[in-house]
Structure 1
């Protein structure tokens, strides 16, 4: 979950520039636990020079979307690729006239901000509602990992669609979770977002997908336009998305890592309030003090201005990082 600063901008995880400004004397290298990105990236393939030197062909993009469809259990003609899920979050609100938008939260702050920038009246709500033109839900949720059953989402989508409304479901953290997705049969008026970078640890590739039925997916495809996804992203995405074995093994290994992290946080006095296999969110006594102590040790975690007693921890990338985290938590 991103949070808003006093100036109205949104603070995100992964900003090591902020970490260095806050803790200029911290020892390096930094251990960045402030994101929910898989710390063990997919072993990207060697790329042909043509991926960089020519425009992506329509057939290349179609092959990428077919690979995504296979990974998500969707139909290829229901999938559209984009240069990152954030690009879709910014674009989707501009596809309909201003109206009432309900964002189920607290959650990733960019959803509400993007709809508001497009002129919509945005309200934060605690659970699913149909008292809006558009409802946005993150499933599993960031930062508490809350999961809404697919049948409940489909029922809300049907009621919204009956009067021209939409249900936007952000499944950014669903790939490695035992969560029933709407990708296989997106309901009328339902639009699902899937992240590539979080699951595969390749956030810099900037790749994401939307899944929906017609006519919504057609409108989105036309709005994105040609050549939105780079040749290198297409080549890496095709390879990774087709590798079901790697994805299953990653889910199992990150699950073990999350359980290990739970043990460290519990021993430090934290109360796990939720998360996914890629991050854990805890309520902990003197969270601001722990944030500072970890920062001085060169470990950057996620804090929340709206919940000052709460911190979010991503997964360490290697044994050395686990050892540093364990030592810092013992010291705290």
Structure 2
């Protein structure tokens, strides 16, 4: 990272509420975890008395099977954001330019700047339409699928075509698939192109964001460089073992995808019909809502008074009248709707989150 850029940098606002008495809809994590995780974690904690095996063979094998690639292409990282930083440290130098989507995850621009590089912002839904000439001055291009906070997925054929144009321009393509596990869409890891690097997060899909487990997928010289550059013991033993276990829980994953799809459709219809919110179409475990004539601050405060935290989406570039809500289980989603005013404001007393 560039020392001067670090001194000039700042933190980025995220969702997630630390108050255990609040039902948190500001972070997009699964409210459920796979059965058996507690036992795997307990065994791993005992094994954590020794340093992890830095090869992470079992974790790599589980991750590779999950995204359909060879295990030697998997680079273990402590979360998806760690994979993103590792890629940017590899690909960017002071004075470089990186194509960054908006509105999208705020850490992209921050991480670009921490390397002393400059983010060039492009509408997220225009990124994959850029031609080669627009990419030639970019060392790196970022695509988020599904995009956060809008929830759109990129068509795999469009992404493959964009990756080819990036290769022709000498641009590395970083594909952030933090939420793609909630869908049945194929990973960009299947492209197996040397200019494409994928970043994955495990812990959102499996309801364990505090575990900090993720990975990158790369090939050729970039794979070798990432493997060399990653920190030794980059995953703790509990994260590696629980992560590998979760990635193999096929029935849990299928059930999660089905529930999210059903509840997302129900939430969207109700928010539109009952509250008049303009809700973006989404393939992700969250919905971006334009609250229209309402004051965003009032919406947030009212929900909070009823024990529910909603994400203030005004922190995303160009969004001025939006909130983002996670998609959880049916009972929790009903509490969200009540806190937002569905059903004439009839809510419970805002007690502890379930």
Q: Same fold (TM over 0.5)?
A: yes
Q: Which runs of 5+ in 2 are unaligned?
A: 1-8, 346-354
Residues 134, 322 of structure 1: CA spacing in aligned structure 2 closer, same or farther, 3 A cutoff?
closer
Q: 1:52 aligns with which of 31, 34, 48?
A: 48
125-134 vs 64-73, which moves further: 125-134
156-165 vs 250-259, which moves further: 156-165
Matches within 5 A, 1:188-207: 188-207=194-213
Is the Cα contact below 8 Å between 1:142 and 1:275 reproduced in 2? no
29-38 vs 88-97, which moves further: 88-97
Check if 1:91 corresponds to 2:103.
Answer: no
Check if 1:313 corresponds to 2:319.
Answer: no
Is the Cα contact below 8 Å between 1:42 and 1:202 reproduced in 2? no
Q: 1:250 aligns with which of 218, 234, 256?
A: 256
Matches within 5 A, 1:262-301: 262-266=268-272, 267-285=274-292, 286=294, 287-301=296-310
Question: Secondary structure at the residue paired with 2:109?
Answer: helix
Is the Cα contact below 8 Å between 1:100 and 1:122 reproduced in 2? yes
Which residue number corresponds to residue 112 of structure 1?
Answer: 109
Is the Cα contact below 8 Å between 1:45 and 1:239 reproduced in 2? no
Which residue number corresponds to residue 74 of structure 2?
Answer: 79
Check if 1:327 corresponds to 2:333.
Answer: no
Check if 1:240 corresponds to 2:246.
Answer: yes
Q: Note the aligned Cα RMSD (angstroms).
A: 2.0
Question: Secondary structure at the residue paired with 1:101?
Answer: strand
129-138 vs 111-120, which moves further: 129-138
Which residue number corresponds to residue 15 of structure 2?
Answer: 13
Check if 1:33 corresponds to 2:40.
Answer: no
- Give the Cα–Cα distance (whole angstroms) in 2 for the partners of residues 220 and 256 of structure 1: 38
Please report how far the alpha carbon of residue 179 of structure 1 lies from its aligned counterpart in structure 2 after TM superposition.
Answer: 2.3
Which residue number corresponds to residue 156 of structure 1?
Answer: 162
- Give the Cα–Cα distance (whole angstroms) in 1 for the partners of residues 23 and 105 of structure 2: 23
Is the Cα contact below 8 Å between 2:99 and 2:121 reproduced in 1? yes
Q: 2:63 aligns with which of 53, 65, 68?
A: 68
Is the Cα contact below 8 Å between 1:299 and 1:325 reproduced in 2? yes
Q: How many residues align?
A: 314
Which residue number corresponds to residue 237 of structure 2?
Answer: 231
Is the Cα contact below 8 Å between 2:175 and 2:198 reproduced in 1? yes
The normalised TM-score by structure 2 is 0.83
Which residue number corresponds to residue 4 of structure 1?
Answer: none
The normalised TM-score by structure 1 is 0.88
Is the Cα contact below 8 Å between 1:166 and 1:190 reproduced in 2? yes
Please report how far the alpha carbon of residue 163 of structure 1 lies from its aligned counterpart in structure 2 after TM superposition.
Answer: 4.6
